[in-house]
Amino acid sequence: MPSHPRPTVRRRRLGGELKRLREAAGIKMEQAAERIGGDKSKISRQENGRQGVSKLEV
């Protein structure tokens, strides 16, 4: 079993859209991470579709 499961199409699409919206709003990764109680790497994983996103985080 791979240590990093491959992202699904749905997660990649959602992550890409979240990144587009974050950048359009002028929000840096650090700011987004602070808002959800995470760190930059979590935002990066979510935007790349490697980690799911909860409704609360969205």
Q: Are 7 and 48 in contact (CB under 8 A)?
A: yes
* Selection from 50, 57, 54, 58 nearest residue 4 by Cα: 50
The answer to whether 29 touches 43, Cβ cutoff 8 Å, is: yes
| List of the chain residues with pLDDT < 70 | 1-5
What is the pLDDT of the chain when averaged over all its residues?
A: 91
